[in-house]
Amino acid sequence: MEKFRQQAEKFGAEFKMDEIKEIAETDNGWQVIGYQGEYKSRAVIIATGSIYRKLGVKGEAELTGKGVSYCATCDGAFFRDRVVAVVGGGDNALEEALFLTKFAQKVYLVHRRDKLRGVKILQERVFANPKIEIIWNAFVTEIVGQERLEKIRLLDRQTQKESEIPLDGLFISIGMDPNTAFVQGFLELNEYGEIKVNSQMETSRRGIFAAGDVTNVCPKQVATAVGSGVAAALAVEEFLSHLE
């Protein structure tokens, strides 16, 4: 990240450490209002990203990065021949479970309902994979470990029976929340709270662009986020050239 910053500064970028609470329209552009100051601009690119939803259970924060992960494609290879679990039942959770079978010896899929929510083709692949065992109607109540993840505790929502599963890795895949609270009611968002953009990364307001995980068009991967950032920067350059 430091190299990225140095390169940006080399070409004239100025960095401000602040949290933005509002964007307001002015006569000749936009005023970006933060807790530490206000910044005037002819155009704005929003690239605030998104955050993984947390289970909110004991041990989660302490063991994140110590066996607990939110990205199988990022960390799956570290669990070769190990026992892992995925929490979730949507498309991404099923894809993560299938991906992990390339490395792990055993993959548990923990889902709080009695039916998966992912698309049919993914469900069929999960059901057919001998490495995957589905645990239905179960909540994770605690993530346990000293220096590293050791096990998870589960509660069956039907029987109220508690159980434990020894694990080497836990992948939490229950969705992501975009960081768009400061533009709610200001920009057009989709049902997931992501900023709606067109192919030029333009939002519903002229002169405001968005890129990366905060948008509705970007798969949640670093490479695609970087690509959309480039697209937004080029679009801003074109936009500003027509104002001169």
Which sequence positions are flagged as catalytic? 71, 74-75
Q: What are phi and psi of 98, to 5 degrees?
A: -65, -40
Position 83, amino acid: V
Rounded to the nearest 10 degrees, the angle between the axes of helix 120-128 and helix 91-100 is: 30
Q: CA–CA separation, 164 vs 162, rounded Å?
A: 7
240 to 52, 125, 244: CA distances (angstroms): 34, 49, 7
Residue 210 contacts by C-beta under 8 Å, 6 or more apart in sequence? Answer: 45, 46, 47, 187, 195, 197, 201, 203, 232
Q: CA–CA separation, 32 vs 28, rounded Å?
A: 13
Q: CA–CA separation, 187 vs 207, rounded Å?
A: 12
Q: How many CB atoms lie within 10 A of CB 15?
A: 8
Q: CA–CA separation, 81 vs 157, rounded Å?
A: 30
Q: How many CB atoms lie within 10 A of CB 27?
A: 4
| Helix, coil or strand: residue 1 | coil
The H or E element spanning position 86 is strand 83-87
| Residue given tokens 């069956």 in the structure block | 156
